[in-house]
Structure 1
Amino acid sequence: MDAQTPLTNPDITTIKRVLIGIFIVIVAQVLFVAQDVVMPMVLGLLIALTLRPIVRFAEKRGIPAGISAFLIILVLAGGLGFGAYSLSGPVSNLIASAPETGIQIREKFAEYRDEIKAVKDASDQVQTLAQGTDTAEVQKVVVQQPALLSAAASKTFVGLTTFVVALILAMFLLSTGTLFYEKIVGILPLMSEKKRALRVIYDVERQVSRYLFTISLINAALGAAIGLCLWLYGMPNPFMWGCIAAVLNFLPFIGAWVGALAIAATALVVYPTLGSALIAPAIYLGLTTLEGNFLTPMIVGRRLELNIVAVFLTVTVWGWLWGLLGALMAVPILVVVKVLCDNFESMHDLGQFLSGRPVVEEDEEDPVEASAS
Structure 2
Amino acid sequence: MSDVSRRPDDPDQSILGRMRSIPRWAGIGLFIYATIYTLSYAKSFFVPVILAFLLTMVFSPVRRVFARHGIPAPLTATFVVLGLLVASLGILGTLSLPVTGWIERAPEITAQIREKASDVSGALSGVFEAADRLRELARPGEDVERVTTSQGGYAFDLATLIPGMMAQIVLTLVLLFFLLASGDMFYEKLVHVIPRFSDKRRAMAVVQDIERKLSRYLFTITVINAALGTAVGAGMWLVGMPSPIVFGTIAFLFNFVPYLGALAGIAIAAAVALVSFDWVGWSLIVSAIYFAITTVEGQLVTPYFVGRNLRLNTVVVFLAVSFWAWLWSAVGMVVAVPLLAAARTIANHVDGMGGLADFLGERHSETVTDAHPEDPRSENLIP
- TM-score band by shorter chain is 0.7 to 0.9
Q: Secondary structure at the match of 2:242?
A: coil
Amino acid at match of 2:235: C
Q: Does 1:87 align with 2:95?
A: yes
| Structure-to-structure mapping, 1:67-78, within 5 angstroms | 67-78=75-86
Q: Is the 8 A contact 1:264 1:277 kept in 2?
A: yes
| Structure-to-structure mapping, 1:140-289, within 5 angstroms | 141-142=141-142, 143-144=144-145, 145=148, 147-289=153-295
Change in CA separation of 1:188 and 1:11 when aligned onto 2, cut-off 3 Å: farther
- Correspondence for 1:312: 318
Whole-angstrom CA distance in 2 between matches of 1:183 and 1:140: 58
Amino acid at match of 1:217: V
Q: Is the 8 A contact 1:223 1:244 kept in 2?
A: yes
Change in CA separation of 1:34 and 1:273 when aligned onto 2, cut-off 3 Å: same
Amino acid at match of 2:98: P
Structure 1 stretches of 4+ moved >6 Å: 7-14, 113-121, 367-371
| Structure-to-structure mapping, 1:47-66, within 5 angstroms | 47-66=55-74
- Correspondence for 1:108: 116
Whole-angstrom CA distance in 2 between matches of 1:118 and 1:187: 66
Q: Secondary structure at the match of 1:251?
A: coil
Structure 1 stretches of 5 or more lacking a match? Answer: 124-138
Q: Does 1:34 align with 2:38?
A: no
Q: Does 1:344 align with 2:353?
A: no
How far 1:328 moved relative to its partner? 2.0
How far 1:108 moved relative to its partner? 2.1
Aligned equivalent of 2:30, options 22, 35, 41: 22
Whole-angstrom CA distance in 2 between matches of 1:120 and 1:155: 29
Change in CA separation of 1:99 and 1:177 when aligned onto 2, cut-off 3 Å: same
Identity score, percent: 37
Change in CA separation of 1:113 and 1:67 when aligned onto 2, cut-off 3 Å: closer
Q: Is the 8 A contact 2:73 2:180 kept in 1?
A: yes
Change in CA separation of 1:112 and 1:235 when aligned onto 2, cut-off 3 Å: closer
Q: Is the 8 A contact 2:58 2:211 kept in 1?
A: no
- Correspondence for 1:362: 366
Whole-angstrom CA distance in 2 between matches of 1:262 and 1:69: 36
How big is each residue's C-alpha offset from its partner over 1:156-209, in whole Å with a ceiling of 9 and x where there is no partner? 221221111011111111121211111122111122222222222212211111
- Correspondence for 2:329: 323
Change in CA separation of 1:12 and 1:210 when aligned onto 2, cut-off 3 Å: farther
Whole-angstrom CA distance in 1 between matches of 2:106 and 2:127: 26
Change in CA separation of 1:115 and 1:158 when aligned onto 2, cut-off 3 Å: closer
Change in CA separation of 1:219 and 1:14 when aligned onto 2, cut-off 3 Å: farther
Q: Secondary structure at the match of 1:362?
A: coil
Structure 2 stretches of 5 or more lacking a match? Answer: 4-12, 131-138, 378-383
Amino acid at match of 2:363: R
Change in CA separation of 1:91 and 1:188 when aligned onto 2, cut-off 3 Å: same
Whole-angstrom CA distance in 2 between matches of 1:291 and 1:120: 34
Q: Is the 8 A contact 2:229 2:252 kept in 1?
A: yes
Q: Does 1:291 align with 2:294?
A: no
Q: TM-score normalized by structure 2? A: 0.82
Q: What CA RMSD, in Å, does the superposition of the two structures yield over aligned residues? A: 3.1
Whole-angstrom CA distance in 2 between matches of 1:120 and 1:94: 19
Q: Is the 8 A contact 1:48 1:174 kept in 2?
A: yes
Change in CA separation of 1:213 and 1:12 when aligned onto 2, cut-off 3 Å: farther
